[in-house]
Structure 1
């Protein structure tokens, strides 16, 4: 194929002096970016719809997540100097899928999921302190605050990432275990009846897309590969261990809710985590949940405003995005144009959808659809690179290849097709995600053909990415 000796021996050579991150730090990133208010809401609505039967789509979603963890691990360790999905994809299947995958998996997800997180925080605060402030004051205020902090390159959560991940994990665990040990536990006998534990039958599998949202985002550890000690162990280990911990905690969290809150109310309530917390903890649950909501939303928002603009910066340096995204502050080095762009696309759905009752679910499931598309492209990348570069050193090789990739592609396509738990929402979810992805696709085609002057689906040489990734305009354009 197209491999050579230099590529085979140089696939894993990050600078030794920068290897600072161990398994614990990476585990905090993997868990901290997955656990969010959106997870707290969708998982409870899922158990409300399916009862104990939700364990079936939850288990399938967990297996799908392990499959993407395998694919990202193999790609990140094979191309350790590549900071984002675009770099893997341009080598595997070409420029158009590279741009589409990155925008689908990160920019479009930010547009939908961050908006949903901010709306959830707004709704929770308004529930606890009704009419204390005009609508969207908190959501837009927090968005503005973290936009400014990132414009000045100030990361107030950098030293707290591990603590925040532990806090959010403990919140879910405490809610689940406290519910099971509560005096108000009054289990419905039919809940554990072998004939009624799964009222949806095989139809419960259609909730896999909802369950998948509990496991997306663990791959954010991959851009840290150059700063990781023993990356061949800690990159895959942190993702797989983190996803396993999340599976156990979500299972306990959902079970606790089923034991204390009427199932129909979990399914129909727009803020089921508020209902759960107040049922178990009473008035104290309000403060408990407001604290968790603010912590989760601020951490997720800050991480996204720090990471995604730098992905756009890297793409701009490689000629894959508008050159204006290369602009950085003279003193701070922050990619200020990209930060403002991500803040703007996050704020737009807030302004357009805050009055819609189903806005949260529509935004989260639209984000899930876009993220699943990016994961499908990731699996295809692994298959394509195995065929094109069979002899290249791979410090991590997917067990039982290509079964995890084929399972991941098929399962994620099925989840996309059944992304909506309600027929009433199907059109809007596909319309929102489809329209944005269509616009991205049209711009990508025009950019690749008209500006880059390259074929849409011709892969770049692996040698060029490994050899020159950091040499392309390392200083960027200052402004």
Structure 2
């Protein structure tokens, strides 16, 4: 038996419920509490808000249908990294993984952890105040309670996921059920409390002006951000039981379920609050809960937001480490990032490095809200670039590998993956036009990975390093 045969492997310990919780838990994050106001401001009409949510859901479903074929055919760790490597070669897989490690997934983890700390500040006063201050080489260094809380949350959930994928998925199931249950309960209470009026819908529709393409596009971009995260399920393909059946079902029914939840809570928002208040609200969920249920309602929805961010954080940490793990196993990243803990059968070193990288972003950018906004601009642009070419990989692989076993074939092929690819192109083009500086820096970060790719490829070819020994 050679050395590679003795290496521990990831455990297929995630069932359909755990996989579904990872999808719903990472998709339903902070967006549904904030984005409806943005969409209302852009569109100016209630019917248009619901149209945007429906179109965003259908577009996400098109992406999920495309990914379902790839995930069922390649049930490995790494998600897009694996799909892109198979379709276009190792460079494209590496660039996706590089983007995830440098800013995509680590930036998302840092942002979600910070959002959790900000929501917690609703109950813990002065959490945004400095708890430590020092001066080094003339630079003033500070650490706020928000930063410290965000760092602690990353540490806790990284340790939970270090303890085993079954433990991580069970935590995800509990948090996601609590989150979805709270949102559905809030919507139901809002619709039956008697404080709302159905005239809020007809009145806003009558007063609305025609909606321009630019405004609709901006609103749709906000909705797509709220739907983002469904691809995380494919990153843990090596740990899902019966992946050929589970991955397609979770992707398809998961997106449909998320869309239903989003439409339901929006119905409650506009039933309880007049359209003008929805447009102006900076804390829409809290305002709706307070109007419908009183002060305790505002507190309850804040607790729901805290649980929501924790579920998104756990899902991001669990799935993100599998990308750098897969890269290391193929020799395109630091070799020991591909190590599996022999007891817990988790990518322990990948989890540790991921947590350290996300923590570093919090320390550097955590006091600057605009810095975090720029960070997400880099990350979102990079993510949608790869979403588009990954969907197109369905068509590429059908031509390059026609004999490949495909337990699931994309419904509506080739129009569904092609449509999603075109939407991704339009999304990225819009970002380039609206935020040329941020997207330019995002492309520069991607290009910064090329020397590392060349180095690791050289080591693989020379036999001095690489993945599986």
Using structure 1 for the length normalisation, give the TM-score.
0.79
1:91-240 superposed matches below 5 A: 91-104=86-99, 108-131=103-126, 134=129, 135=144, 136=146, 137-150=148-161, 157-186=168-197, 189=200, 191-192=202-203, 194-196=205-207, 200-202=211-213, 203-225=215-237, 231-240=243-252
Task: Report the more deviating stretch, 74-83 or 446-455.
Answer: 446-455
| Root-mean-square deviation (Å) | 3.4
Within 5 Å, which residues of 2 pair with 1:303-382?
303-326=315-338, 335-356=347-368, 364=376, 366-382=378-394
1:428-464 CA-to-partner distances (Å, cap 9, x unmatched) read xx54454244223322x22333330499xxxxxxxxx
Greater alpha carbon shift after TM alignment, 181-190 vs 358-367? 358-367
**Higher mean displacement: 138-147 or 306-315:** 138-147
* Number of residue pairs matched by the alignment: 435
TM-aligned CA deviation for residue 172 of structure 1: 2.0
Contact 1:86 1:98 in 2 (8 A): yes
For residues 130 and 390 of structure 1, the distance between their equivalents in structure 2, rounded to whole angstroms, comes to 60
CA contact 2:104–2:379 (8 Å) conserved in 1: yes
Aligned to 1:468: none
Q: Relative to structure 1, is the Cα distance of residues 405 and 367 closer, same or farther in structure 2, using a 3 angstrom cutoff? A: same
Superposition deviation, residue 407 in structure 1? 0.5
Partner residue, 2:7: none
Is the Cα–Cα contact under 8 Å of residues 162 and 347 in structure 2 kept in the other structure?
A: yes
Comparing 308-317 with 254-263, which one deviates more in the overlay?
Answer: 254-263
Q: Aligned partners of 1:334, 1:80: CA distance in 2, in Å?
A: 17
Q: 2:256 and 2:101 mapped to 1: Cα distance?
A: 23
Cα distance, 1:359–1:453 mapped onto 2, change above 3 Å: closer
Give the match for residue 435 of structure 1. Answer: 441
Q: Measure, in 2, the Cα distance between the counterparts of 1:154 and 1:193.
A: 48
After superposing on structure 2, the runs of 4+ consecutive aligned residues of structure 1 that deviate more than 6 Å are: none
Write the distance in 2 (CA, Å) between the matches of 1:274 and 1:440.
Answer: 39
TM-score of the two chains, using structure 2 as the length reference: 0.80
> How much does 1:133 deviate?
6.7
Q: How does 1:7-156 map to 2 (within 5 A)?
A: 23-50=16-43, 51-52=45-46, 53-81=48-76, 83-104=78-99, 108-131=103-126, 134=129, 135=144, 136=146, 137-150=148-161
> Counterpart in 2 of 1:277?
289
* Residues 358/344 of structure 1: CA separation in 2 closer, same or farther (3 Å cut): same
| Unmatched segments (≥5 aa) in structure 2 | 1-10, 130-143, 461-465
> Secondary structure of the equivalent of 1:218?
coil
Q: Partner of 1:314: helix, strand, or coil?
A: helix
**SS of the residue aligned with 2:405?**
coil
Unaligned runs of 5+ in 1: 1-17, 456-470, 475-479
Give the secondary-structure state (helix, strand or coil) at the position aligned to 1:418.
Answer: helix
Are residues 21 and 207 of structure 1, via their aligned partners in 2, closer, same or farther at CA, if it must alter by over 3 Å?
same
